[in-house]
Structure 1
Amino acid sequence: MTTENATTTGLPLTAGAWTLDPFHSAVNFTIRHLGISKVRGRFAEFDAALTVGETLAGSSVTATVALASIDTGNADRDAHVRAPDLLDVAKRPTMRFVSTRLEGEGEDWTMEGELTIGDVTRPVTFAVEFGGLDRMSEDAPRHAGFEATGEIRRGDFGLKFAPGILGEVVKIQLDVQFVEPA
């Protein structure tokens, strides 16, 4: 891992606006079904931005996920989840995260923030692992890789449909790469 252009954030990242590499990033989730197994899925449409400041307090992460882009590998189930009696993507088209605090060192970090689904905003915390930096070629910008995990409770966001069928806890797994500013 190179430390060129390091800031005082504790990570070897260049200050500025890092952009998401959507081809090497994923927003995944897991929820229990009937309490006996897990359903795994992903959201195909999302965007995120990492702003690295000269200090950790000046750094932030924002992300927006299109809820209609849910993909659990079953088209009928996905259509049902999008419907008004469940997720109601017409009423809740996006999920948005805005960080409020970043802390840590080395490879292990914590990211606190506010997650909004529809008209409900709640705090959420992610454990973040910094995967490192690398270039795809000698003249290409560096990519920074991160894995973030956290969980939310559906009921906290007014998503109280299908109790007993779907679990209350939704586990979120993010694998993202950001591209260094020019």
Structure 2
Amino acid sequence: MTNTDTAQTTALPLRSGTWAYDPFHSSVGFQIRHLGISKVRGHFGTFETELTVGETVGSIAVTATVQLASIDTGNPDRDAHVCSSDLLDVEKRPTMAFRSTRISGDGEDWTMEGELTIGDVTRPLSLAVEFGGVVDSAVDGRRHAGFEATGEIRRKEFGLDFAPGVLGDVVKINLDLQFVEPQ
């Protein structure tokens, strides 16, 4: 049995059920190169995600939906342009959605495979995941679990190829997510 096979049957430190995300302690961020010499960073302010946990790693499912019009790069004029038909075209593509298909790993090295959909284009996405742990919150008395995930997509693969040479093709994704244990 390989490490990946072992991970699929490993018991989890998370209670079975659907964990709701904590919107006050979660973020969906990104960065992209501008003119090849610097990076523009931003985040999406409106999103939902859900973590469903079974008895083993192989039974975990993660889904997320991001409202693309909620982009915030710190520059409202740039955000309006990114939302226009030149790039994201939020009139035609209002959301970006993720659905996990497999989680594998061992120790501290975990990978979540899934499918990312922007508009009518779906492509595979691999995320490196770091499990931050589980803690009882003094604020609400419930258990919270934290995760950080990173990955990258290529704009061209999603038909978002506006301004090559001005904007890089690679968009790096940074997720910090906190989930609350089901009652």
TM-score interval, normalised by the smaller of the two chains: over 0.9
Count of residue pairs brought into register by the alignment: 175
| Aligned equivalent of 2:32 | 31
Match of 1:44 in 2: 45
The 1:122–1:37 alpha-carbon spacing in structure 2 relative to 1, beyond 3 Å, is: same
How many Å apart are 1:108 and its aligned residue? 2.8
Does residue 171 of structure 2 align to residue 159 of structure 1?
no
Secondary structure at 1:23's aligned position in 2?
helix
Q: Hey, which bits of structure 1, 4+ residues long, moved more than 4 A?
A: none
CA–CA distance in structure 2, aligned partners of residues 139 and 116 of structure 1: 34
Hey, what does 2:149 align to over in structure 1? 148
1:3 aligns with none
Amino acid in the other structure paired with 2:130? E
Work out whether residues 12 and 56 of structure 2, in 8 Å CA contact, stay in contact via their aligned partners in 1: no
Amino acid at match of 2:94: P
- Asked whether the equivalents of residues 128 and 147 of structure 1 are also in contact (C-alpha less than 8 Å), the reply is yes
Contact 2:11 2:55 in 1 (8 A): no
Describe the superposition over 1:29-85 as per-residue Cα deviations: whole angstroms up to 9, x where unpaired: 000000010000000000100000112222110000000000000000000100112
Shift of 1:137: 1.8
User: Paired residue for 2:116?
Assistant: 115
Higher mean C-alpha displacement, 102-111 vs 72-81: 102-111
Q: 1:172 to 1:44 in 2, by over 3 A?
A: same
1:60 and 2:61 matched? yes
Q: Identify unmatched segments of 5+ residues in structure 2.
A: 1-8
Is residue 16–residue 54 contact of structure 2 (8 Å, CA) maintained in 1? yes
Aligned mates of 2:60, 2:176 — CA distance in 1: 19
Question: What CA RMSD, in Å, does the superposition of the two structures yield over aligned residues?
Answer: 1.3
